[in-house]
Amino acid sequence: MNVEQIIKTEKKIPLRSRTIIHLLLVNTKITEIMTLALKPFGVSQQQFNVLRILRGQQGKPANLSTLNERMVTKMSNTTRLVDKLLAKGFVNRAVCPSNRRKIEILITPTGLDALLEMDKAISNAEKKVLKKMSNTELEQFNSLLDKF
Amino acid sequence: MNVEQIIKTEKKIPLRSRTIIHLLLVNTKITEIMTLALKPFGVSQQQFNVLRILRGQQGKPANLSTLNERMVTKMSNTTRLVDKLLAKGFVNRAVCPSNRRKIEILITPTGLDALLEMDKAISNAEKKVLKKMSNTELEQFNSLLDKF
DNA sequence: CATTTACATTTGTATATACAAATTTTGTAG
DNA sequence: CTACAAAATTTGTATATACAAATGTAAATG
């Protein structure tokens, strides 16, 4: 990926600005690829993320604030996001009996099955995106990301 | 930035997945900070980006497809984005006399003045975001980003 | 020169996201 | 027990983004 070529500039970009732009460009590319990988399943990245969190609960229901806490990209509207998953039959929703303010959300067997397929697609997409990077480089990259 | 802590998981995340998540988290953080920096000026990151492209034209007008080509994050609706800048008096818009399909967009003196202020705010935000990184690390980071 | 094809922009529509206000339920202080 | 504050979710609204179709203009073709 050549930054200057992509944004079609001949100017020398200051290192800090270039770094930020570079990162945004990479992020855009990754998002595009991931969105494409999930397209056959009709779910967004956020929805996929929520399904994974729910699976991680291992049978234990999660409420909306827990989901929101654990999401990679927080969005203000977990209610409507779960609506979508509910419509697809991937989750169940019920009022928590011990605290009726809370909503318990559980992944369904259908959701789990679909999620397994999505995992494969995402894993392939990840491999594709990171194909030029060695393990050492990945480690190095993660260390640098930690500095943000 | 500790990935596992932020998304509140105890599980070991595979290196590739972790890298992607890490990048998304950093991107979210940067976007938040940049959005905040631009808030006083009432422009979005995309609008700021367009203003910078227009300044780079040095008096030469740009048409919509040029803008779209050079934008860091392409969006399908440059028309409506320019509408916003027009409403703020930051740009002028006119039909190209030699080819009436094209629209010529120019940054106004008001736009240039405002842009100078935005530059300062963005530059500060960049410094803040990258404060833990040395020059060498920035170079190293850019090299790794090139592998995407 | 009429017709088709390509180009540049605009518009429509559906969905996504951000932010604030409203609703429902719970806990607590007097 | 009543009033009040806090918690958890929902709803409303404005704006952003993605994608497809429509519009207007120019160039190419026969």
CB contact under 8 A, A9 and B133: no
Average pLDDT over residues A63-83: 91
Return d(Cα B38, Cα B45) in angstroms, integer.
7
Give bridge partners of residue A106 from the DSSP assignment: A92
Q: Which residues of B touch A34 (CB under 8 A)?
A: 20
Residue A14: pLDDT over 90: yes
pTM: 0.92
For residue A39, what is the DSSP state? G
pLDDT 10s digits, A117-140: 999 999 999 999 999 999 999 999
B73–A contact, CB cutoff 8 A? yes
Predicted confidence band of residue B1 (pLDDT cuts 50, 70, 90)? confident
What's the mean pLDDT in B7-22? 92
Chain A interface includes B55 (CB < 8 A): no
For testing contact with chain A, the best of B11, B19, B49, B143 (most A CBs within 10 A): B19
Angle between helices B78-87 and B45-56 (to 10 degrees): 80
**Record: contact A129-B7, CB cut-off 8 A:** no
- In this complex, which of A7, A72, A135 lies closest to B25 when CB atoms are compared? A72
A7 pLDDT tier (thresholds 50, 70, 90) = confident
- Statement: residue B144 has pLDDT above 90: yes
Q: How far apart are CA A139 and CA A90, in angstroms?
A: 34
In angstroms, how far is C30 C1' from B107 CA? 64
Whole-angstrom Cα distance, residue B141 to residue B118? Answer: 26
Question: Does pLDDT of B7 surpass 90?
Answer: no
